[in-house]
Amino acid sequence: MSRDETMVIVGAGHAGGRAALTLREVGFAGRIVLIGDEAHLPYERPPLSKALLKGESSLQACSLFSEASFMASGIEHLSGVRVTKLEPDLHRVTLDDAVTLDYSKVLLATGGRSRSLDLAGRHFSNVHYLRTVDDALDLQRRLEPGMRLLVIGGGFIGLEVASTARELGCEVTILEAGPRLAARALPERLSDALLTLHRRKGVVIHLGVHIDSVHGNEALESVQLVSGEHLHCDAVLVGIGTQPNLELAQQAGLATGSGIQVNRFLHTSAPDVYAAGDVSEMQRADGAFHRQETWRNAEAQGRLAALNMLGQQAPFETVPGFWSDQYEFGLQTVGVLAADARVIERALSGEGMLLLYLDARSRLQGACGWGAGNSVAKDIKLCERLIESQVLLPLDQLADIRVSLKGLLRGAHA
Amino acid sequence: MSDQWVEVCHVDDIDEEDVIRFDHQQKTYAVYRSHNSEYFATDGLCTHEKIHLADGLVMDFVIECPKHNGRFDYRNGKALNAPACVNLRTYPVKVEAGKVMLDTQGQGNP
């Protein structure tokens, strides 16, 4: 890799930022151009719905770079800039001010945007979304003791914002169209535990409900459910998922599905074009494509994309996983929680629990659990190693907490 | 600087190949017992984001942060992989009369 090469990274979120940093860390001396439509240097998003929203963290604390490390890196950051065109044949991108930039390799880390909810075609000043730090700071200004926050969507963003808002003394109501909370990512057992927790903390939760009509002028003042019930609010947080930013890749003729399709080396269908993070949809060994919107995926794919852009041929092998913090509890998952898996539950201290997902040969494929603080972390990390090692596990002993997971792992290596 | 040895716990209060959190005078430490029952101490919070390392997993001489998978060698504090890139400070530890003692002013292994 020579000094006159240019690496262009489209998207200055976590994955893009990690890729830029990694390029320098491993000694790439050429030009790195990191282009993002936000005004800020790359930052990690998990605190946005938690510590940052609560006023206990700052953009600086979430940033991947300090100002000093950024200056020292010599990375060119084009902030508030969009890439409007990608021409793989010409190895060129066009920016929104019509400037063009030639690249040696390009990484698409365009992430996603909040899926918007159609409120009878109207715009209300107090309806919020949460994707960026600016979104979080806008919402933060609304959260005062006693204010009524209506959360639309019972997924992780909705639940974490509900938790933070309750801790700030807000009155919180969650509306979820499905039959249970966080159903796309969690088993029923954990959905039920979250429901119990939030209700105990004073959140009003309506499951299986749909909005019939919205009322208000400049601000949304109330919604009426199909059931006829009327709910008043001072502000609304909509958390109904994200939509990957695929347009640039689609216009360039790249293969896309629910994301930009990549192989295990994070190559897209076009030469010298890579994709990483929330927007990438990677093909697994079974042939199916999977897209992940997690911190872990952004971190690992951002790093791997950089290494492969520099000529390595390293496959993506990171076991998937995520966490969520709500009130004084922490939830973590690792691996794949398949619907047809055999599930064994281990009790942990307090209200904590760990669910082990085994395949037909009693090898661990996934695990999820929760407990006070980060107490589930040790077990989840052991599960990650058990998944990687694919050791055969003794089904009849797994529910017994006196049987240590570390012992089973060590036994496999003995 | 003078030594500031403080008592952490009884030697058996930490399981083999495990870690506990120890708070003392507005500071938090992580105190480790290795599989061969040597004792070590580092700063208690991960250098990547301020998270208590004592909730992390100890395997051999490595502590893994409970959230972000940053790993450190707890004998010398060395950050082993991203996202952790700043080393942990370490502190001298000794065992006296069945108690684990930590020197809050000292510098452990570099």
ipTM: 0.90
Q: Which pLDDT belongs to residue A351? A: 85
Residues of chain A with C-beta less than 8 angstroms from the C-beta of B49: 44, 61
pLDDT at B108 over 80: yes
The per-residue pLDDT of chain B, averaged, comes to 92
Cβ pair A382, A226 in contact under 8 A: no
- Spell out the domains of chain A, with CATH numbers in brackets: 6-113+243-309 (3.50.50.60), 116-238 (3.50.50.60), 328-413 (3.30.390.30)
Residue B86 per-residue DSSP state? S
Nearest-by-CA chain A residue for B71: A381
Q: B68 or A177: which carries more pLDDT confidence?
A: A177
pLDDT at A27 over 70: yes
Nearest-by-CA chain B residue for A61: B49
The residue among A50, A318, A374 with the most chain B CBs within 10 A of its CB, best to mutate, is: A374
Q: Which pLDDT belongs to residue A411? A: 82
Q: Which pLDDT belongs to residue B50? A: 81
Q: Which residue has the tokens 């040895």?
A: B5
Residues of chain A with C-beta less than 8 angstroms from the C-beta of B66: 374, 377-378, 381
Percent of chain A with pLDDT over 90: 94
Distance, in Å, from the CA atom of A323 to the CA atom of A142, rounded to the nearest integer, reads 26
Q: Which pLDDT belongs to residue A172? A: 98
Say which of B17, B51, B82 has its CB closest to residue A303. B82
Say which of A18, A295, A378 has its CB closest to residue B57. A378
Q: Which two tokens stand for residue A237?
A: 């947080």
Asked if A382 and B68 come within 8 Å (Cβ–Cβ), the reply is: no
Task: Look at A273-282, A298-307, A348-357 and tell me which has the smallest mean pLDDT.
Answer: A348-357
Asked if B82 and A299 come within 8 Å (Cβ–Cβ), the reply is: yes
Asked if A382 and B57 come within 8 Å (Cβ–Cβ), the reply is: yes
Nearest-by-CA chain B residue for A303: B82
Mean pLDDT of B33-55: 93
Q: Which two tokens stand for residue A301?
A: 């794919």
- Spell out the domains of chain B, with CATH numbers in brackets: 5-103 (2.102.10.10)
The per-residue pLDDT of chain A, averaged, comes to 96
Distance, in Å, from the CA atom of B20 to the CA atom of B33, rounded to the nearest integer, reads 9
Asked if A381 and B83 come within 8 Å (Cβ–Cβ), the reply is: no
Asked if A375 and B55 come within 8 Å (Cβ–Cβ), the reply is: yes
Mean pLDDT of A322-351: 95
Mean pLDDT of A381-393: 95
pLDDT at B2 over 70: no
Closest approach of B28 to chain A, Cα-based (Å): 16
pLDDT at A1 over 60: no
- pLDDT per residue as tens digits for the range A241-278: 999 999 999 999 999 999 999 999 999 999 999 999 99
For B48-71, give one letter per residue: b (16+ CB within 10 A) or e.
Answer: bbebbbbbbbbbebbbbbbbbbbb
Mean pLDDT of A219-228: 97
| Bridge partner residues of A78 (DSSP) | A35
The residue among A381, A382, A384 with the most chain B CBs within 10 A of its CB, best to mutate, is: A381
For A10, other C-beta atoms within 10 Å of its C-beta total: 30
Q: Which pLDDT belongs to residue A14? A: 98
Q: What are phi and psi of A2, to 5 degrees?
A: -105, 170
In angstroms, how far is the first alpha carbon of chain A from the final one?
43
User: Cα B110 to chain center, whole Å?
Assistant: 14
- pLDDT per residue as tens digits for the range A120-148: 999 999 999 999 999 999 999 999 999 99
Q: What angle do CA A189, A190, A195 make, to 5 degrees?
A: 105
Nearest-by-CA chain B residue for A375: B55
0.90 surpassed by pTM: yes
Closest approach of A373 to chain B, Cα-based (Å): 9
Residues of chain B with C-beta less than 8 angstroms from the C-beta of A373: 52, 55
Residues of chain A with C-beta less than 8 angstroms from the C-beta of B82: 18, 22, 299, 303
Closest approach of A45 to chain B, Cα-based (Å): 13
Asked if B67 and A323 come within 8 Å (Cβ–Cβ), the reply is: yes
